[in-house]
Structure 1
Amino acid sequence: MKISLFLNRRQFLMTTAASSLLLGAGRVAAAEPIKTAGIYTVPVEQQWVSRIHNAALTAQDRGDISYSFSENVSNTDYARVIREYAEAGNKLIIGEVFGAEQEAREVAAEYPDVAFLMGSSFKEDPALPNFAVFDNYIQDASYLSGIIAGSMTETGNIGMVGGFPIPEVNRLMHAFMAGAREMNPDITFQVSFIGSWFDPPKAKETAFAMIENGADILYAERFGVSDAAKERGILAIGNVIDTQPEYPDTVVASAIWHFEPTLDKAIAEVQAGSFTAADYGIYSFMNQGGTSLAPLGTFDGKVPAPALELVKKREAEIKSGAFSVTINDDEPTSS
């Protein structure tokens, strides 16, 4: 795999395991670790899934769960893998069913004693009490990263490359756009979706086209966008994970997703025997510790002071409840 996109497999797993040990220090291990499985349609290095994977490693290291996982599972094979893990005695199954909703829910109904916590564009169904849903509602940090982007653009033209126009992606883009317009209401946006969760070459080519059309900052919802920005000498805003170490002169800021509050809530419910159908999306909110704005790092001192002052003000207001970022799940369009 390309080092510019993400850590190699061995380094990634060692890093996440080490950080998990530190995060789990001081916790009392559960007497009976919950046998837990993760099912992912992409590699665990992919940014969104990496946050789930890392949280599971953290929970395992503190003794709450015993964790195994399958990656690169196709949507057509997803139901079979769910059934295999359920038959193997797993009591908590986590993953993402965006492309296999109906099949996943049908299989979950066959195993009422297994708790399912699944990334989904749909809501929970009371008729399926063992199937809870989540989504990364990190619009709070996306909004803050938009403020920074709005203060850094010189052309007033920002390019945005996403995977699919589903609610999870749409709400982050709208929040980012709202933040940018706080600094300059006349900013224009180029918006495009590549039709894939993991196609860095396609994302890169889409970003190149936006740069040719005047964009001087890119919103990198997908891998590959920051590579285009780096090659053309412009800036990028990251999403879900902090990629600034790989792009120190390119990635200004990133909205970070922390899956730990979501998973920890599910673990507590399973331990208590009270797990039920619910929407866990709230645990991704900033006031729940589910999202944060990455440190500026190499861009410390380079972001205009008015933007930083507004970021600080809005962050405090979001955490206190005095300000709420609008959640807009409609598909965004170019302006």
Structure 2
Amino acid sequence: MIVTRRTTLAALAATAVLALAGCGKKEAEKPAETAAPASAPAAAAAEPLKVAFVYIGPVGDAGWTYAHDAGRKAVEAKFGDKVKTTFVENVPESAADAERVFRDLASQGNKLIFGTTFGYMESMLKVAKEFPDVKFEHATGFKTAENLAQYDVRTYEGAYLAGVVAGKMSKTGKMGVVASVPIPEVIRNIDSFTLGARSVNPKATVKVVWVNKWFDPGKEREAATTLIGQGVDMLMQNTDSAAVVQTAQEKGVYAFGWDSDMSKFGEKAHLAASVISWGVYYNKVVEDVLNNQWKPNTTWWGLKEGMIDLKGFNTVVPDDVKALVEERKKGVIDGTAPIWKGPLKDNAGKEQLTKDQVADDNFLHNIKFYVDGVEGNVPG
């Protein structure tokens, strides 16, 4: 049976020492001719794969880190005693903090380590070189190494579907996004939300307030309040807490949950949620490691692989809107209705995609502009 708990580094170290002590005993008293040659490999095979997860924020009960921890639990549910998982939460992206945590986890016998935020990339690259026998997986980055893979989820697909709902249900046509950090991933989500809204309401506009942090409920609430004060009646977020949904509930506007279902924080305001199922990917990676088939790949999954979806619809969402979402979802999955298809201009009038041109992954990974319909400029 696996016992899961919030693990401090000190506790992990103690566990590692006990494990090493237990493995030090030899059966020297047995005659050589009666020793079973396969006993050592069999004992080694019985040892669980130690898997560690490093989180940028608290697990909490909603959002990015909560969704990752749900993925960790999915690994435990599928593999049982074959694995032993642990996690460290609230690890800053600063090199000194991140490197220390990754190095300690590797030293304590974890053979598979997931780092779950963009800012861990350089720290993971450095520590991976020090522990070539450990496999590292980095979320949302773009660099790999011999023992470092990169993975991400196509969050922009969920943002697009939320935009379709917002465009159909907004009374004012004015929408807002509470944004975290101005990197291509987040800009892409803002743009995709706008593309979804304008696909059903060509006059829809989107305002953006940046909080420059992934998790800061106070700043998220302040940003949401500012947007509502500017007349928006639909809020999307690319931040980790439920503060935006809570603020929408208090102010009488609609909002969308992000990364997980946030309806319990504002049942009237919460129209639907873009939900990530990290377990789909985590189960695949753990299985590959157990079968000695792991490779340092770059993976970007989405609707097609069942890794993201728009779920938890409010009862106020009409059936025809939900049907439209399913139709758009099908088009994205089978490729008949790609989200990023030309002609497409940015909000300064520059053509970014020509007529019928479909954006490839390289284009999507390097988006640094707002599409037509988003107000203002991308922070420099």
TM-score (norm 2): 0.74
* Residues 1:121 and 2:138 are matched in the alignment: no
Q: Indicate how the Cα distance of structure 1 residues 180 and 170 shifts in structure 2: closer, same or farther if over 3 A, else same.
A: same
Alignment of 1:63-212 (within 5 A): 63=80, 64-74=82-92, 75=94, 76-124=96-144, 128-212=145-229
Deviations, residues 274-319 of structure 1 (Å, cap 9, x unaligned): 322211222xx111010111131xx22x334543332121122223
Among residues 337, 341, 358, which one is paired with 1:323 in the alignment? 337
- CA-CA distance at 1:136 after TM superposition: 2.5
Say which is worse superposed, 129-138 or 82-91, in terms of deviation. 129-138
Partners of 2:84 and 2:120 in 1: how far apart?
Answer: 25
Question: Which amino acid in structure 2 is aligned with residue 34 of structure 1?
Answer: L
- CA-CA distance at 1:86 after TM superposition: 0.7
Partners of 1:323 and 1:34 in 2: how far apart?
Answer: 41
Among residues 302, 306, 320, which one is paired with 1:289 in the alignment? 306
- CA-CA distance at 1:31 after TM superposition: 5.8
Among residues 289, 299, 309, which one is paired with 1:270 in the alignment? 289
Question: Which amino acid in structure 2 is aligned with residue 42 of structure 1?
Answer: G
* Residues 1:254 and 2:268 are matched in the alignment: no
Q: Indicate how the Cα distance of structure 1 residues 123 and 322 shifts in structure 2: closer, same or farther if over 3 A, else same.
A: farther
- CA-CA distance at 1:118 after TM superposition: 1.2
Partners of 1:240 and 1:182 in 2: how far apart?
Answer: 23
Partners of 1:91 and 1:78 in 2: how far apart?
Answer: 17
Partners of 1:289 and 1:31 in 2: how far apart?
Answer: 32
Among residues 261, 264, 273, which one is paired with 1:245 in the alignment? 264
Give the match's secondary structure for 1:273.
coil
CA contact (8 A) 1:138 1:290 kept: no
CA contact (8 A) 2:121 2:138 kept: no
Partners of 1:262 and 1:79 in 2: how far apart?
Answer: 24
Question: Which amino acid in structure 2 is aligned with residue 317 of structure 1?
Answer: G
Aligned to 2:50: 35
Question: Which amino acid in structure 2 is aligned with residue 323 of structure 1?
Answer: A
Q: Indicate how the Cα distance of structure 1 residues 305 and 61 shifts in structure 2: closer, same or farther if over 3 A, else same.
A: closer
TM-score (norm 1): 0.83
Size of the alignment, in residue pairs?
Answer: 299
CA contact (8 A) 1:135 1:168 kept: no
Q: Indicate how the Cα distance of structure 1 residues 112 and 97 shifts in structure 2: closer, same or farther if over 3 A, else same.
A: farther
CA contact (8 A) 2:162 2:193 kept: yes
Q: Percent identity?
A: 31
Whose RCO is larger (CA < 8 A, sep 6+)? 1
Q: Indicate the RMSD between aligned Cα atoms, in angstroms.
A: 2.0
- CA-CA distance at 1:161 after TM superposition: 0.5
Partners of 1:172 and 1:204 in 2: how far apart?
Answer: 20
CA contact (8 A) 2:257 2:274 kept: yes
Partners of 2:153 and 2:111 in 1: how far apart?
Answer: 23
CA contact (8 A) 1:286 1:292 kept: yes
- CA-CA distance at 1:221 after TM superposition: 2.5
Alignment of 1:13-28 (within 5 A): none
Question: Which amino acid in structure 1 is aligned with residue 67 of structure 2?
Answer: R
CA contact (8 A) 2:263 2:312 kept: no
Partners of 1:103 and 1:250 in 2: how far apart?
Answer: 39
Aligned to 2:13: none
Larger Rg: 2
- CA-CA distance at 1:43 after TM superposition: 0.7
Structure 2, unaligned runs of 5 or more = 6-44, 341-358
Structure 1, unaligned runs of 5 or more = 1-9, 11-29
Among residues 221, 229, 233, which one is paired with 2:252 in the alignment? 233
Partners of 2:324 and 2:101 in 1: how far apart?
Answer: 47
- CA-CA distance at 1:99 after TM superposition: 2.0
Question: Which amino acid in structure 1 is aligned with residue 101 of structure 2?
Answer: V
* Residues 1:58 and 2:74 are matched in the alignment: yes
Q: Indicate how the Cα distance of structure 1 residues 168 and 136 shifts in structure 2: closer, same or farther if over 3 A, else same.
A: farther
Deviations, residues 134-191 of structure 1 (Å, cap 9, x unaligned): 1231222221111111111111110100111223322222221111111101111101
